Structure 1
């Protein structure tokens, strides 16, 4: 579908021209690819911040310390005498209770212990890995909440941070926010790696998440606005691919070092390279134009053209001049810059309903996505390998999202993947755990589908809302979506009451989001709307086109 078919909200030929895309940003050359590679640097930090708590709070094998049988400074996890000292259930030693002692001797025979049990007061841990569990003795059921709390605190920090980052990005620029957020997150993350107690760890988990909440969305929007509508799906795939690669590296480094402190220091040190971003990455042409910084926008456009080894077109020069005339001759009364995003959206019923449905879809998507990501370490097998596999399955999901989004359209692809993710989650409930690899395969299929939906909804959200509010509303949707990610870390607690309950919730939310997303307008091939009115008319233009085709 050609872009020229849709000049939404235009009143005359001059405005049609100014709302067209610049040819230079429709071309992905060496310069554009280089910018995407550089923009991937903050995503290293985003991966560590977003999912690092999977490993910093990961379960570690442990048992009770039997002081009568061993020296606390010289222990092994599974000594031969252990069945005499602690009760076993299903072939596994108890982790929080031990047999009481009746006779203290030099040996650890059965006669030393009674059949009565008592709570443990010290533990022996797997020496091969260090998480906050064995760092601060967060053992047994009464401390389980301390292991799930960091994930919720992390996402709560992002929830609060996202209330500001969209506004700051639209006001001060995507690049400036990206640099500041990355540096602040890096500093707090490095301080957290030196935590000397649990509450210091929790405090800096929150500060890291709050300050770094803008990193991914700012990089994503900046990347999307570097290109035209023909390349937006590809731009989305490039950004998301780099994020997935760094999540896989997170699993690989966690498996290699097996120390939560070392892991944090490696990833957060990399984030300090954001110091160099202002000297390399320009702000987006669209944002500069929306702020009437015409000369800077023209300079960036010329830089893009030169870097991609193409000539700046006469059309682009004309569009820049039209922007100059437009901004000198009249004031844009459609979207006054001092009117809040909330007032603008509330004033347009179509966009308001779209936003409400969009926020629910985000909650459902994020809840299922993070729930399955976190659940990977509880699937039978090596938790590191499981996490890496669950992350790797996102790569083919990216390409499927890219192909189907441009072939079938955004709406049917999003609805289908939401629906299938819910179905696979429900099917998982009915598959016995001893059916070989089938439970894992179905689990991976569910993650594949929800990942496809996740990538689509990011791109879809940026296409349904206007330039002046794009990052604000993307931030709002992402912020509300954090309700899902705040809830996801608590699903291991739900499983204690009903093992299948998490997957029932995943299925219901995925299927309901599937049907609600059918109300969205199709945005395949259209130009990004610049005003609220243009955003509202996306669906109307599609309906009118279909109506005209029927008449013909």
Structure 2
């Protein structure tokens, strides 16, 4: 039986060729942040106040005028957005702007506004101002998550059937089209329509990039690959904020971000298809050519045994199908035709999918819940967004350092437990201890960020090649339930502390993870039977044998 992980050890687990591929994936991962987070700026609420005709004209306004205090009330320490003091009877047309012109005991709504900056979001352009329209701005994020919920499994199925590369390139280019079309939306309804379509189309692009990275990387370098892809996502968040800082019109903002998406057509010739997908789908000629290319670029010559095996793959496909059936390794005929049906027939795999889905939903629930329920930070919103993205990078780096020493399962459970315990302690700390509460919050946030990174690595190593993207897409789809539920948690504030719910959910997931197998040091499974054996003694013995072969003996087929 051909062992691809042994061949990757032979030709280089992370050599020049993998560096080239990861460089290309860097740009695609950065691009995947746009569909899921641009609404933070395109649908952002703005700072504005009522236009006061007694003190200013529509053509000559200044947000922080000295007379604002006597003409507009304050709400929570800020100038009211949609209320002004009513003019005293007889002074409606007075332009002296004196104290005698306004009644501080009576307020009224206004229909004309003065904005603090030139920033133009859909709130300003489509008139989505004041409290009665806030739900329309919040609905943009909700519709985005609904789109991701719909699309996660779809792109996973397409990826497993037509290839990681094909699904990724098609999704990114179509996402680019949706982004450009959204920038020309004539109304709120059309904007929401293209927001939904973009989320459906692009929802699985990050997992596609992640799987391509994992499937071309040797076993000992997958932890680094996982941390690298996560850091790329943070860089995408930073880029979004920097562009928003200088391009403050939402239409041009979308065009600047999405226009480069059409350049991904060149990835047809630059990005390789996953070797594992090629082998699992019996495209042996392309798989052999790619293996030889990696060997050449990495300057790692193939052993005579491997050369003989590759020659046999290319020249006698029928014979190799019997002797070196990589995609099934002796599996049933049903699995060759319908991998997902084989997964659904496996009680072991269904149990693991259930736990993985719960953990994925927990991560999304806690991560987005903490973001939405944290105390608002004063200051520049662009700088704050950048700092929030930067704060995640240490968690990614720490996961890369810890995963190789403690293993996937312990690190996953530990990060969830630390997050849960930090948040649980947070609930019982007196409000006056601001420094301690902030530290506990940041610890909980960093730990759940680390958990997200580990979960991607664990899932990619636990699910079989012929259904990997479909299953990861299913888990990620269920995670949308968590991200959609998080914004509703403040409604429970009168009955229970939302942070207490986050803590208990994280601790529950930490215990459930312990029922998953340890995947460290195991080869990526190509089918359900191999996936079921992960965690068994036989699997560990086989992996250790492969390591010994890679250290001193030629790879045998």
Q: State whether TM-score is above 0.5.
A: yes
For residues 139-538 of structure 1, the aligned pairs below 5 Å read 139-320=129-310, 324=317, 325-327=319-321, 333-334=331-332, 336-337=334-335, 340-373=338-371, 378-429=376-427, 440-489=438-487, 494=491, 501-538=497-534
Q: 1:309 to 1:112 in 2, by over 3 A?
A: same
Task: Give 1:218 shift.
Answer: 1.0
Task: Give 1:391 shift.
Answer: 0.9
Unmatched segments (≥5 aa) in structure 1: 1-14, 546-552
Task: Give 1:155 shift.
Answer: 1.6
Q: 1:498 to 1:194 in 2, by over 3 A?
A: farther
Task: Give 1:337 shift.
Answer: 4.9
Task: Give 1:367 shift.
Answer: 2.1
**Greater CA drift, 79-88 or 476-485:** 79-88
Q: TM-score, normalised by structure 1?
A: 0.89
Contact preservation (8 Å) 1:248, 1:388: yes
**Greater CA drift, 317-326 or 280-289:** 317-326
For residues 67-82 of structure 1, the aligned pairs below 5 Å read 67-82=53-68
Structure 2 match to 1:548: none
SS at match of 1:519: coil
Deviations 1:274-304 (A, max 9, x none): 1100111110111111111111100011111
SS at match of 1:507: helix
Contact preservation (8 Å) 1:467, 1:530: yes
Contact preservation (8 Å) 1:32, 1:226: yes
Contact preservation (8 Å) 1:46, 1:212: yes
**Greater CA drift, 427-436 or 56-65:** 427-436
Task: Give 1:20 shift.
Answer: 4.7
For residues 129-140 of structure 1, the aligned pairs below 5 Å read 129-140=119-130
Contact preservation (8 Å) 1:494, 1:501: no
For residues 1-16 of structure 1, the aligned pairs below 5 Å read 15=1
Deviations 1:369-419 (A, max 9, x none): 233455679333332222212211221111211111110010111111112
Identify the match of residue 18 of structure 2 among 32, 49, 57.
32
Deviations 1:193-251 (A, max 9, x none): 22222111111111111111121111111111111211111221222222221211212
Unmatched segments (≥5 aa) in structure 2: 542-557
- What CA distance in whole angstroms lies between the structure 2 residues aligned with 1:347 and 1:438? 49
Residue-pair matches, total: 529
Are 2:117 and 1:127 aligned?
yes
Measured on the aligned residues, the alpha-carbon RMSD in Å equals 2.7
Deviations 1:453-511 (A, max 9, x none): 111101100111111111111111111112122334556x648x659844333323222
- What CA distance in whole angstroms lies between the structure 2 residues aligned with 1:264 and 1:223? 28
SS at match of 1:312: coil
Contact preservation (8 Å) 2:54, 2:97: yes
Task: Give 1:150 shift.
Answer: 1.0
Q: TM-score, normalised by structure 2?
A: 0.88
Q: 1:128 to 1:442 in 2, by over 3 A?
A: farther
Contact preservation (8 Å) 1:64, 1:123: yes
Structure 2 match to 1:539: 535
**Greater CA drift, 328-337 or 471-480:** 328-337
Contact preservation (8 Å) 1:43, 1:243: yes
Contact preservation (8 Å) 1:466, 1:534: yes
SS at match of 1:421: helix
Contact preservation (8 Å) 1:376, 1:383: no
